[in-house]
């Protein structure tokens, strides 16, 4: 059973809102990128000439565009954890949101060359690593000992809900912007989807204002009935 009072606490609510917005922004990009880089492969030449964007990537080449974000997460994740241990999880969370938001904004502004995608995906990967490492820690820090499992589970659900919404909204925006007389997505739809992700991560900075260095509710030595070590 979920204690609704736990979800109403300001820091717990803020953590869940951030998780939802990060999931929203991440998947609005991940659902859009494959279609963006694969166009205009397979299109008739007359239509391909009208598209004006994309790299004609094959499915295998499309996967390569995701490698920078994966490598960035592998490298940045441990660093984010170390920084969170020293300074608390809020600072690396904000760093992650700024990094991801910057990458998504650059996606919206500059996406005419393959190296643009590789560079911005690396920024997004750093942002995701910092954000997710911090969000999990905040969920635990702001829960009591007996609430830890529920708190982390709800936080994961919020991120999944945000991801589902982000994917659907991005797909709707892209589908609503097509080349005249065709069902081929226009560049404007992808630009709007990338910009929407940048807006989502920017909005996620607002709840962090209540996430000062978390004071754990997981239980103190006094609550455990133990005398502190001398």
Domains and CATH numbers, the chain: 4-208 (1.20.1250.20)
Give this prediction's pTM: 0.85
* Among the listed residues 121, 122, 163, 142, the one whose alpha carbon sits nearest the alpha carbon of residue 25: 163
Q: How confident is the model at residue 220 (pLDDT cuts 50, 70, 90)?
A: very low
* Among the listed residues 185, 206, 189, 196, the one whose alpha carbon sits nearest the alpha carbon of residue 27: 196
For residue 72, is pLDDT > 70? Answer: yes
In this predicted model, what pLDDT tens digit does every residue of 30-70 receive, in sequence order? 999 999 999 998 888 888 888 889 999 999 999 999 999 99
Q: Tell me the average pLDDT across 99-107.
A: 95
- Tell me how far apart the alpha carbons of residues 178 and 181 are, in angstroms, rounded to a whole number: 8
Q: Give the count of alpha carbons within 13 A of 114, CB side only.
A: 14
Whether residue 70 has a cis bond before it, omega within 30° of 0: no
- Tell me how far apart the alpha carbons of residues 225 and 120 are, in angstroms, rounded to a whole number: 51
What count of other Cβ atoms lies within 10 Å of the Cβ of residue 158? 23
User: Any idea of the CA torsion for 51, 52, 53, 59, to the nearest 10 degrees?
Assistant: 50
**What would the DSSP string read from start to end of 61-115?**
HHHHTTHHHHHHHHHHHHHHHHHHHHH-SHHHHHHHHHHHHHHHHHHHH--SSHH
Q: How confident is the model at residue 152 (pLDDT cuts 50, 70, 90)?
A: confident
Q: Going by C-beta distance under 8 Å and a sequence separation of 6 or more, which residues neighbour residue 69?
A: 121, 122, 124, 125, 128
* Among the listed residues 46, 43, 68, the one whose alpha carbon sits nearest the alpha carbon of residue 55: 43
Q: Are 193 and 174 in contact (CB under 8 A)?
A: yes
Q: How confident is the model at residue 100 (pLDDT cuts 50, 70, 90)?
A: very high
Predicted confidence at residue 49, as pLDDT, reads 82
Per-chain mean pLDDT for the chain:
87
For residue 214, is pLDDT > 80? Answer: no
What count of other Cβ atoms lies within 10 Å of the Cβ of residue 14? 20
Task: Name the token pair of 181.
Answer: 């007389």
């Amino acid at each position: 059973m979920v204690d609704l009072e736990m979800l109403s606490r300001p820091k717990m609510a803020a953590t869940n809102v951030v998780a939802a917005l990060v999931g929203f922004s991440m998947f609005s990009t991940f659902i859009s990128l494959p279609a963006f880089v694969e166009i205009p492969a397979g299109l008739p030449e007359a239509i391909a000439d009208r598209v004006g964007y994309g790299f004609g990537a094959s499915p295998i080449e499309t996967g390569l565009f995701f490698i920078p974000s994966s490598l960035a997460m592998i490298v940045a994740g441990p660093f984010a954890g170390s920084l969170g241990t020293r300074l608390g999880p809020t600072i690396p969370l904000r760093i992650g949101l700024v990094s991801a938001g910057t990458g998504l904004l650059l996606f919206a502004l500059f996406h005419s060359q393959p190296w643009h995608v590789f560079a911005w995906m690396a920024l997004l990967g750093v942002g995701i690593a910092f954000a997710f490492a911090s969000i999990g820690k905040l969920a635990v820090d702001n829960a009591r000992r007996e609430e830890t499992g529920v708190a982390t589970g709800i936080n994961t659900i919020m991120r999944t809900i945000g991801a589902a919404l982000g994917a659907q909204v991005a797909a709707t925006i892209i589908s609503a912007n097509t080349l005249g007389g065709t069902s081929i997505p226009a560049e404007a739809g992808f630009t709007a989807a990338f910009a929407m992700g940048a807006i989502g991560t920017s909005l996620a900075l607002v709840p962090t204002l209540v996430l000062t260095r978390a004071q754990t509710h997981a239980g103190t030595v006094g609550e455990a009935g133990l005398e502190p070590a001398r």
